[in-house]
Amino acid sequence: MKRPGVQPPSLLGFSHNRRSAPAHDSRPLTQPLAAVVMAAGLGTRMKSATPKHLHPLLGRPLVAWVLDALRAVGPSRLVLISSPESAAELAASFPGVEVVVQEKPRGTGDAVAAARQALEGFEGDLLVLAGDTPLLTPEAIEELVDEHHREGAAVTLLSIEPEGRRPYGRIVRDEKGELAAIVEERDATPEQREIRELNASVYVFSAPDLWWALGEVGTGNAQGELYLTDTIARLVREGERAVVYRSQDPDVAEGVNTRADLALVASLLRKRILTAHMLAGVTVVDPGTTWIEADVQIDPDAVIQPFTVLRGRTVVRGEAEIGPHVVAIDAEIGQGATVGPFCYLRPGSVLAAGAKAGTFVEIKNAQIGERSKVPHLSYIGDAQIGEDTNIGAGAITANYREERFEEKQRTVIGSNVHTGSQNVFVPPVEIGDNAWTGAGSAITEDVPNGALAIARARQVNKEGYDDARQRND
Residue numbers annotated as active site: 376
406, amino acid identity: E
Dihedral sign of CA atoms 84, 89, 90, 96 in order: positive
Q: Is the N-terminal amide bond of 300 cis, ω within 30° of 0?
A: no
Query: What length is written for the chain?
Result: 473
What's the CA gap between 182 and 144, in Å, rounded? 18
Contact 2, 45 (CB under 8 A): no
Q: Which helix (H) or strand (E) holds 292?
A: strand 291-292
What three-state secondary structure class fits 46?
helix
Environment class of 139 (CB within 10 Å of its CB; exposed 0-12, middle 13-18, buried 19+) = middle
Contact 414, 398 (CB under 8 A): no
What's the CA gap between 201 and 113, in Å, rounded? 16
Closest C-alpha to 232, from 160, 169, 144, 141: 169
Closest C-alpha to 424, from 400, 398, 406: 398
Contact 171, 201 (CB under 8 A): no
